[in-house]
A and B are shown apart, each in its own frame.
Chain A
Amino acid sequence: MTAIWSGLRTGFAGAAALMLTTVLPAHAEKTITAVMHSGLRVLDPVITTAHITRDNAFMIYDTLVALNSDFEVTPQMASFAVSDDGLSYTFTLRDGLKWHDGGDVTPADCIASIKRWMQRDGGGQMIADRMASLEATGDKTFVLTLKEPFPYTLEAMAKTSSLALFMMPERIASQPADEAITEYIGSGPFRFVTEEFQPGVKVVYEKFEDYVPADGPPSWFSGAKDVKVDRVEWVTMPDAQTSINALMNAEIDFMEFVPVDLLPLLEGMPGIQTEVLAPLGSVTIGRMNFLYPPFDNKKIRQAALMAISQNDVLTALQGNPDYFKVCGAIFGCGTPFEFADGSDTLTSGGDIEGAKALLAEAGYDGTPVVLMQPTDVVTIAPQPVVAAQALREAGFNVDLQPMDWQTLVGRRASQSAPDDGGWNMFFTNWIVPEVSNPLANVMLNGRGDDAWFGWPDDPEIEALRTDFANAVGLDAQKAVAEKIQAHVMDNVNYIHLGQLYSPSAWSDTLTGVEQAPFPVFWGIDKTE
C-alpha cells in the first residue's frame, strides 16, 4: 500500500511538474500579505465602528495624539500644551506632515476632522458639549478652548477604538458625518491604493515615501511608525482552514486571528510563529433589555448574574484555558481600572441556589426570557447556549432563538416587546480598550432611550461617569472607577463574562512584529 501511495505521489508530482513550470510568481518588492479578521467594505472611519475599518484607518491616516502601551497620551502629529486652568488645549503640528496627494497638513484640515468626529463619537460629543471654540492660531497651531474643564479631553482624542480621531484633508472632512467619504487620502505611513481595492476581497497599501515618523520608540499607536516594506496586502479568506493552509504554504505572511481549536496545526511548525499579539485581549458580555419584564427588575437581573459562571462560558467559547481568563473587572484585567468588586459568583462558578432564592424573592412569574443566539459568528455563538442552560437551572423560562448576526443586529435596535420582535438578552464581545474606562465603555451609558441597546435609565451611573470625567489624575479616576465597578455588579447594567485572547500567526520571514490591541504593520520587515 505504501509503495502504491509512493508511486502515485511520484506520478502526480512528475505529471504536475511537467504541466507547471512555476508555482508562485517572485516578488520584486517587499510585500506583506496578511489575512485579517474580516473583509474591508466600509472605508469611512467616522461612519462605522467596525474594527476592520478602524484597522484600515490606522494604516492610512495618522492621529493628532496617540495612546502608548502604558495608557499614556503622547504627541503624534501634534505636540500639545494644556493651560493651567484646563480650559485651553494648544496643538502644534510637527514639521513635514503631508497628505498622500502631496498637500501640506494644515490646522484647518485638523479642525475639520475634529468637528466631523465630534458629531459621531461619544467622547467627541462630550468635548463638543463643553467647547467654546476651535480655531487656527498660526500656520501650524490651533487651539481648542473649553467652557469648563474636561480632563478627559486628550484621552478621548487619543482613544484607539472604535471611533478614533483620524486627520483628513479639509475638503474630505467637510463632508456631513452621516455621509460616507469617497476619497481616501490620509497622512499616515501607508497610502491606500484605490485602484486595487476590491471590497470584501483585497486591500492594498503602499509605503508613503513622504511620511515623516514621529519621535520616540514605537509603542502601540504612538512613536515612530517606520515602514520597512513596499506594500501590504490584506486578503480576505472566509475559511480559517484555508488561511492556515496558505500560511503553511508560504502564500501569506500573517494571519491575525487563528481559531484556538485550529492552533495545534501551526504550533511547533517550522517557519511559523504563533503568539497573542493583543495582550489585553477582549471581553465577552451579556446585555439585558431594561425596558421589559423580567429584566426591568433589578433583583431578577441579579439572579441571572448569580446563575452564570464565567468559567463555563469561557470554556465553551475558547476551550483551551491558555486563551481565556476568568476576570471580574468590568474595565478588563491588566488595565489601570482593574477592580473586581461584586464579581464573586461570576468568577467562582456561579451560584444556582442563590439565584433560585433571589428569583423567588423577586416574585418571578415565569415570563419568557428571549435570548438571541447568532449562529454564524463563532466567537459569540456559544455564550447564549451556556447562559440559557444556567438560567434554566436557576428557574428562568428561557426562549433561546437562533438567528444570523445581522438579524440580531437589526433586532437588538428594536424597542418592541420581546414577544413582538423585541428581545431580552444578547451577547457580544469588545476589545479591552473599548471598555477600559467609564467614558469609552458605551454599556455604562445610563441615559434611557439615548443609551446603548438595552436602554437602562440609571441616573446614578451617569453621576458617577460625570465624576470620572471631572476627576483629575489617575488616583482620583481610580476611586470613581471602583465605585462604578461596584454599581454595575449590583445594578447589573450588563454581565461581564470574562476575558479571552486570540492568537495570531506569522511566517518567520517577518521580523519586528509587535504587540498592540490590534495589528500594526509599521516596524515589520520581511526577508525573502
Chain B
Amino acid sequence: MPVYFLRRVLAAIPVMLVVAVFVFLLLRLTPGDPAAIIAGDMATPDQLDRIRTTLGLNDPLHVQFVHWIGQLMRGDFGTSLISNQPVIHLVGDRMWPTIWIALITITLSVAVAVPMGVMAAWRHGSWIDHLVMTFSVLGFSIPVFVIGYLLIMVFAIDLKLLPVQGYIAPTKDFAGFLQRAILPAVTLSSIYIALIARMTRASLLDVLGEDYVRTARAKGLTEGRVLFRHALRNAAVPVMTVIGTGFALLISGVVVTESVFNIPGLGRLTVDSIFARDYPVIQALILLTAGIYVFVNLLIDLSYSFLDPRIRY
C-alpha cells in the first residue's frame, strides 16, 4: 500500500506539469488584456503599454512561463494582476467557504441518499421505490438556482427563519455559520441526493441477488443486518466513486449556488478571475482543482480496499 501511494503521488507530478503548461498557453491565447481591464475606459494606448510592461505582460511567452514556474517551485503562486494581492491569500480566503459548504453538502447528501437508496432497493417495485425514483428525477431535473430561490422565498423571505445570503466563518460565529450554510447546502444536496440514491439503489439491487445475501438471510440475520452489514458494504464501491467525484466537483466551484447565496467561494473567484483575465489567479485555481481531483481519486482508490478486502494494491 505505501508503495502504491507513493507511486500515485509521483504520477501526479507529470499530470500537474501538463496541466500547468496547458493552462498557461490557453490563457495567453484567450482574447482579452488585463492591462485594459486595470486601466479602464479612458486609457490611451501608451498608458496600456506601460501597464503591460509593469505587469511583465510584454515579456516573451517563454520568459513569462519560466518566471511563473520558478515562482511555483518556491511555493509562490504570484500576485493578482488586478487586486495586487498575493494569490495564495486570495485563494486561501475563498477556499474555506467552499470547503465548509461542500462538507455539509456531502454529509447531508450521504445521510439522506444512502438510506433512501437502500430502502428503494429493499422495496424494489413498491411505492417507496417509485417515490425515491421520482425524487431522484426531480433532483436531477430542477436547476439548482430554482431550488435555491424557492428555499429563500419560503425560509428566508416568508418565514424569516434563515438569512437570505452570506457567509460567516464557523470559527468566528458557529451559529451564524450554520444559519447561512443550511440553505445552500440543502440546495446543492438536491442533485447529490438524487445521484447517490440512484447509485446506491442500483448497486444494491445487483448484490441483493447474490448467493452470500441469500446465505446471510438463511442464517437468520435480521434484514437490517443483511442490508447494511453485508449487502451495502459490497455495493459501496461505485457509491464511494460518486461521493468522491461529487466532493471534488463541489470544491472546484459551484458558481451558481455561490452567486444565489452570495458565498465568497472558489467558484465565484474563478469566474471573476476569468472575466478579469487575472492570469496568476486562474492558473493557481486550475492547478488547485487538478490537485484536488488527483488527491480525491487517490483517496477513492484507497477506500476500495477498505470496503472490499478482495481489492489489493
Contacts and interface: CB of A to CB of B under 8 A. Distances in A.
A249 B157 contact: yes
A20 B152 CA distance: 16
A20 B31 contact: no
B268 A406 contact: no
Contacts of A2: none
From B37, B41, B80, B154, name the one whose CB has the most chain A CB atoms within 10 angstroms.
B41
Contacts of A50: 40
A179 B164 contact: no
Interface residues of A, number: 61
A449 B179 contact: no
B275 A404 contact: yes
27 contacts: A9-B154, A20-B161, A22-B176, A23-B161, A41-B80, A42-B82, A49-B39, A49-B42, A163-B42, A182-B84, A200-B268, A201-B93, A201-B94, A201-B264, A237-B262, A238-B262, A239-B259, A239-B260, A242-B165, A242-B261, A242-B262, A245-B164, A251-B166, A406-B37, A410-B277, A411-B31, A428-B41
Interface string A23-39: 11100000000000001
B272 interface: yes
A319 to B, nearest CB: 22
Interface string B145-189: 000010010111111111111100000010110110000000000
A198 interface: yes
A452 B275 contact: no
Contacts of B42: 49, 122, 162-163, 442, 452
Interface string B28-45: 000111001111111111
Interface stretch (B47-55, B208-216, B231-239): B47-55
Interface of B: 31-33, 36-48, 50-51, 53-54, 80, 82-85, 90, 93-94, 149, 152, 154-166, 173, 175-176, 178-179, 259-262, 264, 268-269, 272, 275-277
Counting from the closest, the 7 A-B pairs by CB-CB distance are A49-B40, A199-B83, A410-B33, A16-B161, A410-B32, A201-B264, A245-B164
A462 to B, nearest CB: 15
A12 to B, nearest CB: 6
A406 B276 contact: yes
A3 to B, nearest CB: 17
A40 to B, nearest CB: 9
A409 B38 contact: no
Nearest to A429: B41
Contacts of B47: 120, 178
A442 B179 CA distance: 49
Contacts of A199: 80, 82-83, 85, 90
Nearest to B255: A238
B154 A47 contact: no
Given A199-B83, A238-B268, A410 B38 contact: no
B165 A245 contact: yes
Contacts of B163: 23-24, 249, 251
A407 B165 contact: no
Contact of A49 (B43, B82, B269, B275): B43
A267 interface: no
